Amino acid sequence: MFESAELGHKIDKETFRAEEPKVRAALLEAQFELQEKADFPVVLLISGVDGGGKSETINLLYEWMDPRYLSTLAFSEPTDEERERPYMWRFWRALPPKGRIGIFAGSWYSHPIAERIRGDLSKSSLDQRMDQINRFEAMLVNEGALVIKLWFHLSKEGQRQRLKALEKDPRTAWRVTPESWARLKTYDRLQEVAGHILRTTNSPWAPWDVVEGTDDRYRALRVGKILLNALQNRLADTRDQNFPVAPPMAPRIDNLNVLTALDLTQKLDKDAYEAQLAKWQGRLAELVRHPEFKKHSLILAFEGSDAAGKGGGIRRVTEALDARQYQIVPVAAPTDEERAQPYLWRFWRHIPRCGRVTIFDRTWYGRVLVERVEGFCGEADWLRAYTEINDFEHELHEDGAIVVKFWLQISDKEQLRRFKEREKVEFKRFKITEDDWRNRGKSEAYQAAVCDMVDRTSTGTAPWTLVEADDKNFARVKILRTICERLESVLAPQKAKNKKDSKQ
Amino acid sequence: MFESAELGHKIDKETFRAEEPKVRAALLEAQFELQEKADFPVVLLISGVDGGGKSETINLLYEWMDPRYLSTLAFSEPTDEERERPYMWRFWRALPPKGRIGIFAGSWYSHPIAERIRGDLSKSSLDQRMDQINRFEAMLVNEGALVIKLWFHLSKEGQRQRLKALEKDPRTAWRVTPESWARLKTYDRLQEVAGHILRTTNSPWAPWDVVEGTDDRYRALRVGKILLNALQNRLADTRDQNFPVAPPMAPRIDNLNVLTALDLTQKLDKDAYEAQLAKWQGRLAELVRHPEFKKHSLILAFEGSDAAGKGGGIRRVTEALDARQYQIVPVAAPTDEERAQPYLWRFWRHIPRCGRVTIFDRTWYGRVLVERVEGFCGEADWLRAYTEINDFEHELHEDGAIVVKFWLQISDKEQLRRFKEREKVEFKRFKITEDDWRNRGKSEAYQAAVCDMVDRTSTGTAPWTLVEADDKNFARVKILRTICERLESVLAPQKAKNKKDSKQ
């Protein structure tokens, strides 16, 4: 969930100076329209790691907008009054009325997160609370509210540096307490808990936006545009608001994303490749014969640009396996029988039993990639698919399946080269179609779809691995190594941990 | 949830003979249209207590409809194949394709219910599973499926008699096993678990229909009409199916309901009334001063027909209380401030703290009563309100609040008498308005709304008490006694239990 927010997004001073007045003016105007004409309240949740810029953001919103129609609600320890009533009572009394924006500094998420980190809340009790929150937010949205949920994220190193910077500046040093440093120690635990919570409450009616908190200007502009975009869209929406309205995807304000951040020049020469290939294929062959693997199954999901080398990657994997143990499922247009069922049905039918491997060559992500871009399904359908897919993978994980997902990325230039080569070589010609050429024209839409997919479905239990695939050797080894490491972390966790530690 | 299914519904032979051919013909026709033209599957879940008529119903549907387009899926112990895959896999592979009806004898609910009864599943794990089921069913409905969930209910005595009858008949004796009798022993536990599950999974997109299982003809006709009604409505629905469609309320096939079943002739003469009144008011005064009450609060919800005597009933309650301890909230048209918030907000603001009492004279049920009948809110809004209200009351209950809900019912004749009296007596005239007269004309719509309300919101944690209110004395004493008994069961559970046992 946090991939896009660890890339080191930055906005330079000049861009910011040019953009800020525009965003401010538009925000003020939207706020005015909201309070004059609109029939809905805005609930804005500000959450995230310490030092991620939560209070700076709130101050900025006050500077940018008309503070008379903003209310900020900070929730620390509950008062006497609050303690003697149900947990949600304090939030109910703080809800903004129609036409106003209520900024929640801390929210109904704060307590469950803190309790879970302290170990005072079991996993199932946490899920129970998240279910209640989902129902509550659905009710808010059904009642007309626009719910915007922001999560400010810092990488562990980013958080350390941020605390140091705050401490150094005499104007902000007071904000750094011993608790702040203590929280750095529980960073990993927070990420794990937050990842789970963001996944289970990333509902189509009230999704999360994760904002990288490192750079002040980037954070400010991003929040401003998310809020502006959501307000403008909703103000312009004339649909009957009886149903939860799928909110738009958050705007991107720079060209840095999980795909453009990849270093596609990475290479492996022939000798290194052959040595590595042998090493990881050998390791994989051992791992799928590990006695512990009988309690698990392995599900490999391959997605990627056209001609990125999925087939070749898959072949290098299967070379290490026994043909009786695996099944490759190539995913093309659905059959009649499949079309008569929910879209996940065609994947459920191929779920492996224990001790087996299923390799999907293209996957259930088709819905949020090709079906989204080509308009084969409605917006509401692909928006809800993120949650459905997360639920699906979570269920697989809970049952012991190990789900490894690859996106193979190649540069435009390399893709063009491969396309031309395919046309020339007789036995490769079947691989290239009109569609492939046509898709190249839509590469921007595909890129946005891939980034959203990674942001919304790269979970702790089933993370995405992005593979730099301009060099086939490099890609194949990265795929094999990733599979082996995931298997090891599950089948022989202690061994995997020791290895990791000795590397550091 | 089970009130309507313990009334002893019966259909006589003649009515059945007249009705059955019509239902059959219409069902066949609807089934034909479904398989020829329609683009959705039907998922029919058959669940409920043993002896409630589950298998009879399935056999009957096969007799009534074209069996080539029906499939029945019975799930007993999972096979090897199934055990080695996630729990939901067996259901995914059994889903009916578009145009077909899949009858699930046992379903994704069976296992969690059995595990919970055996004590193998904690309450929070159960809720976690129910959340997963809700998400799964939402996905099915979003993908176009029509999901119909039937729960066959028998009272405890009804189940005992049914087992005896099956045992006596040589054709069915084989169906009664020692396990059947054993299950009678866990009847109360099943009711408790089932009540909770039905409440949490009674979603607007896939609600439960509870069917009384005692009388074969009633059960058959009711199931037939529920299925027919759902099919016909969906086939006629031309809306874009991108959103979960709120299914219609189930049809009623006789005039017996929780209101018509009340014996309104019950009376208390003056002497008995005064003795009883003094007794229960004294008891109530003690109970709200009980040291345990400091950890709880009491929420009294009064609804009822016009002129049913809510005010008088409330006064008899407050006479036993200290004025500093309670608050009466009369609910009329919402204020401007309240209108700018979700409809439950105006009730949340009056939630009492520990040790206090809040009495609502009319309540949050306005949404499913007057707002539904008068069309003040959309169908989708009042349909989702049942779930929202249950969530609300559940939250209150979890926090220690004791929620006692009364519906005061008077006969048409008695209402007319009181209306006329009010017009005559100077100091009562303010109580009667044009609206009251107008509402009398809608009594049938109001009656249906009250029955649906009781069926969908009478939960284990916050049950409805229906009060026969033609005689004011009788009504007032029943209200006071009910409050005292609920308080006792929470504050001094052992004492309350002993009393109950000694009564038996």
pLDDT in tens, B80-103: 778 778 888 888 888 888 889 999
CATH number of B3-236: 3.40.50.300
Residue B386's CB is within 10 A of a number of other CB atoms, namely 22
Q: Which two tokens stand for residue A108?
A: 């109904």
* pLDDT the model gives residue B497: 63
Residue of chain B minimizing CA distance to A96 = B341
Does B375 reach chain A within 8 Å, measured CB to CB?
A: no
Average pLDDT over residues B183-209: 86
Cβ contacts (< 8 Å) between A86 and chain B: which residues? 351, 395-396, 398-399, 401
CB-based contact, A353 to chain B, within 8 Å = yes
Pair of tokens at residue B351? 């939630």
Which pLDDT does position B247 carry in this prediction? 55
Closest by Cα among B131, B341, B139 to A132: B131
- Asked whether the beta carbons of residue B353 and residue A84 sit closer than 8 angstroms, the reply is yes
Can you tell me the distance from the alpha carbon of B411 to that of B397, in angstroms, rounded to the nearest whole number? Answer: 33
* Exposure of A97 in the CB half-sphere (CA atoms within 13 A): 10
Separation of alpha carbons A251 and A229, rounded Å: 7
Give the chain B residue whose CA is nearest to the CA of A86. Answer: B399
Percentage of chain A modeled with pLDDT above 90: 44
Question: What is the rounded CA–CA span in Å between residue A479 and residue A474?
Answer: 9
Distance, in Å, from the CA atom of B231 to the CA atom of A147, rounded to the nearest integer, reads: 36
**Residue holding tokens 């635990």?**
A189
The residue among A377 and A453 whose pLDDT is bigger is: A453
How many C-alpha atoms does B318 have within 13 Å on its Cβ side?
A: 17
Is B177's pLDDT higher than 90?
A: no
The per-residue pLDDT for A239 is 67
Q: How many beta-carbon pairs below 8 A join chains A and B? A: 139
Dist CA B295 CA B286 (whole Å):
15
Amino acid A248: pLDDT: 57
> What is residue B450's predicted lDDT score, i.e. its pLDDT?
94
B338 Cβ under 8 Å from any chain A Cβ: no
Higher pLDDT among residues B247 and A41, named by residue: A41
**CA–CA dist A477, B174 (Å, integer):** 63
Q: Indicate the average pLDDT of chain A.
A: 87
The rounded radius of gyration (Å) of the Cα atoms in chain A is 24
Average pLDDT of the residues in B211-217: 90
Contact list in B for residue A349 (CB cut-off 8 A) is: 92-93
Element (H, E) at B464: strand B464-468
User: What tokens does A122 get?
Assistant: 């079991």
Does the pLDDT of residue B262 top 80, yes or no? yes
Q: B139 and A242 in contact by Cβ < 8 A?
A: no
Q: Is A85 helix (H, G, I), strand (E, B) or coil?
A: coil
Q: Is B200:B123 a contact under the CB 8 Å cutoff?
A: no
Residue of A nearest to B343 (CA): A143
Q: How many Å apart are CA B486 and CA B464, to the nearest integer? A: 12
| Residue B263 in this model has a pLDDT that exceeds 90 | yes
Q: Are the Cβ atoms of A353 and B84 closer than 8 angstroms?
A: yes
| Domain map (residue ranges) of chain B | 3-236, 270-503
At B303 the three-state DSSP class reads strand
Give B66's DSSP letter. Answer: -
Contact criterion met (CB < 8 Å) for B345 and A92: yes
**Direct distance between the N- and C-terminal alpha carbons of chain B, in angstroms, rounded to an integer:** 25
DSSP B74: E
Mean pLDDT in residue range B177-186: 81
Q: What is the pLDDT of residue B241?
A: 55
| Residue B299, C-beta contacts closer than 8 angstroms, at least 6 positions apart | B351, B352, B357, B358, B360, B396, B401, B402, B403, B404
Q: Given an 8 Å threshold on Cβ–Cβ distance, is B127 in contact with A122? A: no
Residues 6+ apart with CB under 8 A from B501: none
* Interval A350-373 mean pLDDT: 93
- Give the residue among B261, B26, B42, B259 at the shortest CA–CA distance from B147: B42
Q: Kindly report, residue by residue over A362-407, the tens digit of the pLDDT.
A: 999 999 999 999 998 888 788 888 888 988 998 899 889 999 999 9
Mutate one of A37, A84, A296, A338 to test the B interface: name it (highest B CB count within 10 A): A84
Contact assignment for A89 to B351 by CB distance below 8 Å: yes
Q: Which residue in B311, B258, B321, B274 sits closest to B464, CA to CA?
A: B258
Going B216 to B218 to B222 to B224, the CA torsion angle's sign is positive
Length of chain A: 504
Distance separating alpha carbons of residues A243 and A229, to the nearest angstrom? 20
* Distance (Å) from the alpha carbon of A42 to chain B's nearest alpha carbon: 11
**Strand-pair partners of A402:** A298
Of residues A472, A480, A497, A470, the one with CA closest to residue A276: A480
Partner-chain residue, chosen from B139, B243, B352, that has the shortest CB–CB distance to A388: B139
CB contact under 8 A, A378 and B86: no
Q: Do A395 and B81 count as a contact with CB atoms less than 8 A apart? A: no
- Taking 60 as the threshold, does the pLDDT of residue A247 lie above it? no
Whole-Å CA distances, A260 to A11, A257, A265, A373, A462: 16, 5, 12, 19, 22
Model confidence pLDDT, tens digit, residues B17-39: 999 999 999 999 999 999 888 88
The residue ranking higher by pLDDT, A182 or A47, is A47
Task: Please return the burial class of A334, using the count of CB atoms within 10 Å of its CB with bins 0-12, 13-18 and 19+.
Answer: middle
Q: What is the mean pLDDT of residues B40-52?
A: 90
pLDDT digits (tens, 9 = 90+) for A38-85: 888 999 999 998 888 888 899 899 899 988 888 888 777 777 778 778
Rounded to a whole number of angstroms, the distance from the CA of A388 to the nearest CA of chain B is 7
User: Distance between CA atoms of A252 and A238, rounded to whole angstroms?
Assistant: 25
pLDDT score, position B463: 93
Give the C-alpha separation, A138 to A131, whole Å: 11
**Yes or no, beta carbons of B86 and A136 under 8 Å apart:** no
Q: Is the ipTM of this complex over 0.95?
A: no
Residue A485 or residue A203, greater confidence: A485
Q: Please check whether the domain covering B270-503 is classified as CATH 3.30.70.1050.
A: no
Over residues B387-445, the pLDDT tens digits come to 889 889 988 998 899 999 999 999 999 999 998 888 887 667 667 777 777 777 788 88
What is the pTM for the complete model shown?
A: 0.79
**How far apart, in Å, are the Cα atoms of B365 and each of A85, A224, B386?**
21, 40, 9
Name the residue of chain B whose CA is nearest to A122's CA.
B124
Q: Has residue A474 got a pLDDT over 90?
A: yes
For A8: left if phi > 0, alpha if psi spans -120 to 50, otherwise beta; the answer is left
**Distance (Å, rounded) from C-alpha A196 to C-alpha A194?**
5
CB B45 within 8 A of CB B104: yes
- Name which of A356, A353, A284 is nearest A313 in CA terms: A284
Spatial separation of the C-alpha atoms in residues B323 and A352, rounded to whole Å: 67
Are the CB atoms for A397 and A298 separated by under 8 Å? Answer: no
Q: At what angle do helices B123-142 and A379-398 cross, to 10 degrees?
A: 140
A residues 227-266 lying closer than 8 A (beta carbon) to B: 242-243
Q: Cα separation of B94 and B73, whole Å? A: 7
For residue A257, pLDDT over 90 is answered with: no
Beta-carbon contacts of residue B51 (< 8 Å; ≥ 6 apart): B154, B159, B162, B163, B166, B180, B213
Question: Which among A276, A314, A300 has a CA at the least distance from the CA of A473?
Answer: A276
The strand order across the sheet containing A70-74 reads A70-74, A101-105, A42-48, A146-153, A208-212
Res B499: pLDDT: 61
Torsion of CA A178, A181, A186, A190, to 10 degrees: 100
Tell the residue number behind the tokens 């609109």, with chain if given. A38
| C-alpha distance from B388 to closest chain A C-alpha (Å) | 7
Q: Which of B7, B493, B4, B458 is closest to B195 using CA atoms? A: B458
Contacts of B380 in chain A (CB under 8 A): 242-243
For residue range A184-243, list pLDDT tens digits in order: 888 888 888 998 899 889 887 888 999 999 889 999 999 999 999 999 988 887 766 555
User: How high is the mean pLDDT of chain B?
Assistant: 87
CB-based contact, A98 to chain B, within 8 Å: yes
Q: Which residues pair with A401 in a beta bridge?
A: A297
Q: Which of A85, A97, A354 sits opposite B337 (nearest CB)?
A: A97
Whether A354 contacts chain B with CB within 8 A: yes
- Chain A partners within 8 Å of B387 (Cβ): 135
Digit-coded pLDDT (tens) for B270-303: 999 999 999 999 999 999 999 999 999 999 999 9
Q: Where are the beta strands (DSSP E) in B19-156?
A: 42-48, 70-74, 101-105, 146-153
Question: Residue A98: which of B340, B353, B398 has the nearest Cβ?
Answer: B340
Write out the H or E segment, with its range, that includes residue B305.
none
pLDDT of residue B504: 44
Q: What angle do CA A293, A297, A299 make, to 5 degrees?
A: 135
The dihedral built from the CA positions of residue B130, B133, B137 and B139, taken in this order, carries a sign that is positive
- Structure tokens belonging to residue B434: 């044009």
Tell me the chain B residues in contact with residue A143 when contact means C-beta distances shorter than 8 Å. 341-343
At B493, the pLDDT band (50, 70, 90 cuts) reads confident
Domains B3-236 and B270-503 share a fold: yes
Rounded CA-CA distance B410/B87 in Å is 50
Find out whether A45 and A201 touch, Cβ atoms under 8 Å.
Answer: no
Is pLDDT at A504 greater than 50 in this prediction? Answer: no
For residue A88, the chain B residues in CB contact (below 8 A) are 348, 395
Mutation site, A71, A93, A135, interface B, largest B CB count within 10 A: A135
* Distance of residue B425 Cα from the nearest chain A Cα, in angstroms: 42
